[in-house]
Amino acid sequence: MLFNSLSFLLSFFVFYLFYYYSSFRIRKLLLLFFGIYFYSRWGIGATFLLFGSIIFNYTIAIWMDKCSFGKRKQIFVLGIITNVLYLGVFKYFLFLWGMFSDVSVELGGQPFTWKLNLLLPIGISFYTFHNISYLIEVYDEKINVCKNFFTFTLYDLFFPLLLLGPIERPGNLIPQFESNRTITKEQIWNGFFLFCFGVFIKSSIADPLSRYVEMNVNSFQTIEPGILWIIAPTIAFQVYADFFGYSLCAMGLAESMGFELMNNFKRPFFSSNPSEFWSKWHISLSTWLRDYVYIKLGGNRHGFIRENINLMLVWFLTGIWHGVGYGFIIWGVYLGICLVGYRFLKYVGFTKFQHLIFSSLGIFFTFITFSLGLLLFRITSPTDVYLIVENLMSFPKFEQIPYGLLLIIAPLLIFDLWQEWKDTNRPSFFHNQNPLQVTFIFVLGFIWFSLVSPFAKEDFFYFQF
């Protein structure tokens, strides 16, 4: 059930009527039941697995809270290992099995014919990271253990962020479930417009760009020379519009119900270096990896070489978190090399020059390196890497450039330019605007949506992760 589907809109409308006029206790029950209903639409088996994860992590945290330090650490390690294994079995087992089969063939053996039919629960990476961060925060005594099972269940079953995040911190989200929050008219309207704009850029920008990419890149062997210089930036805007659109929808839905989620994007394509880019793209994941992996490994406290080894390990993990396949591993290593390369330039003083020209060149090269990296997601064999490099050795012909794509991405660019000019920390294009301006923007967006967006619905790009 997609956010931009009629079934969700009708279901949420009915749910919200009851939610808005209910008491605090009834609202929590409604949120719980609607979360179960929303997630169950993707498969009842996945729902049982999610509840198994919820019960396990709730029990581990309670158990850990009652024990002495030595025992507490053992329980904590058990909880973390179990969560990692849970994610590993359902997400990576089949890939590892296939990899061992490939190795067997290379060594002269037979391919493995037996395969385990495993369910891959949607959103498993997000809610598993949710639970790991909860256990870490409880163990480090940064938050108190949540003893109310229904509140903790909501932490994992809060439907706006259940499928694709953001990966909210327990210290931010759980207290919001425990407090009786008044919903203001400002929250309703701002949430409504954030949701509408999220659906707009998903359906009118991300989906058309996705169809263009799929029409032109069936195989790296058959594409025209140089076309990847067009395809790569198109994929970048497609992924951005898709995931940013989902994040806006999640923020809007949550705000209309009186909750505040963290901002997951902050105009990343205006970043002048890779380090700045990853502080503005998928912020919840970047900060999660920084706080729970990079810093735990020692961060930058043990010298320049150790710092960059830690970075490479973090980005290797980032690659395999995003998906199973050789392309994701190569993508993670590639981005790690980009970051380490930038830090080396910074270390030797090359980045100390502050000038508009250097900043503009930095924005251009940061965008291009990120865009080219997204091509690695589509790798199915080592040969594809060679074909990508070979294609990039040429440049597209003038008539191959689809100028219509600029028209499609124009609303997103205008929105980000507006936000950059206002230097906002959260998307607030419709916040505190004149009612006439809001009406004009909404009508204009509806007309654009009607002209550009077909009725066909595409899954959100990050569903595969």
Estimate to the nearest angstrom the gap between the alpha carbon of 1 and the chain centroid: 18
Q: Work out the pLDDT band at 387, boundaries 50, 70, 90.
A: confident
Which has more pLDDT, 323 or 81?
A: 81
- pLDDT score recorded for residue 353: 65
- pLDDT score recorded for residue 321: 81
DSSP for 73-103?
A: HHHHHHHHHHHHHHHHHHHHHHHHHHHHHHH
360 residue type, one letter: S
pLDDT tens track for 88-97: 888 777 666 6
| Least confident span in 244-258, 403-417, 439-453 | 439-453
CA end-to-end span of the chain: 17
98-102, 198-202, 323-327 — which one is most confidently predicted on average?
198-202
- pLDDT score recorded for residue 91: 77
- pLDDT score recorded for residue 149: 94
The whole-number average pLDDT for the span 380-389 is 81
The whole-number average pLDDT for the span 209-220 is 81
- pLDDT score recorded for residue 304: 83
Q: Is the pLDDT of residue 52 over 90?
A: yes
Report the C-alpha gap between 23 and 147 in whole angstroms.
Answer: 22
DSSP for 1-42?
A: --TTSHHHHHHHHHHHHHHHTS-HHHHHHHHHHHHHHHHHTT
Instruction: Look at residues 249, 131, 339, 256 and name the one whose alpha carbon lies nearest to residue 264.
Output: 249
107 residue type, one letter: L
- Residue 128: CB atoms within 10 A of its CB come to 24
| Least confident span in 237-241, 416-420, 448-452 | 448-452
C-beta of residue 276 within 8 angstroms of C-beta of residue 440: no
pLDDT tens track for 289-310: 999 988 888 877 878 888 888 8
The answer for residues whose C-beta is within 8 angstroms of residue 319's C-beta and 6 or more apart is: 328, 329, 330, 331, 332, 333, 335
C-beta of residue 148 within 8 angstroms of C-beta of residue 103: no
DSSP for 244-261?
A: HHHHHHHHHHHHHTT--P
Quote the percentage of the chain above a pLDDT of 90: 32
- pLDDT score recorded for residue 376: 86
Report the C-alpha gap between 398 and 255 in whole angstroms.
Answer: 46
H helices of 140-264, in order, are 149-157, 170-178, 185-201, 207-216, 228-256
Report the C-alpha gap between 32 and 150 in whole angstroms.
Answer: 8
The whole-number average pLDDT for the span 197-218 is 85
* Annotated catalytic residue 322: yes
- pLDDT score recorded for residue 380: 75
Q: Is the pLDDT of residue 451 over 50?
A: yes
Q: Is the pLDDT of residue 459 over 60?
A: no
- pLDDT score recorded for residue 455: 45
Which has more pLDDT, 120 or 459?
A: 120
- pLDDT score recorded for residue 454: 47
The whole-number average pLDDT for the span 440-446 is 58
- pLDDT score recorded for residue 221: 74
**How confident is the prediction for the chain on average, in pLDDT?**
83
C-beta of residue 192 within 8 angstroms of C-beta of residue 256: yes
- pLDDT score recorded for residue 443: 57
pLDDT tens track for 113-162: 656 666 677 888 889 999 999 999 999 989 999 999 999 999 999 999 88
Q: Work out the pLDDT band at 355, boundaries 50, 70, 90.
A: low
pLDDT tens track for 3-27: 777 788 889 999 999 999 999 889 9
| Least confident span in 170-179, 259-268, 353-362 | 353-362
Q: Which is the catalytic residue, given 282, 322, 355, 431?
A: 322
Instruction: Look at residues 174, 317, 249, 227 and name the one whose alpha carbon lies nearest to residue 2.
Output: 249
Quote the percentage of the chain above a pLDDT of 70: 84
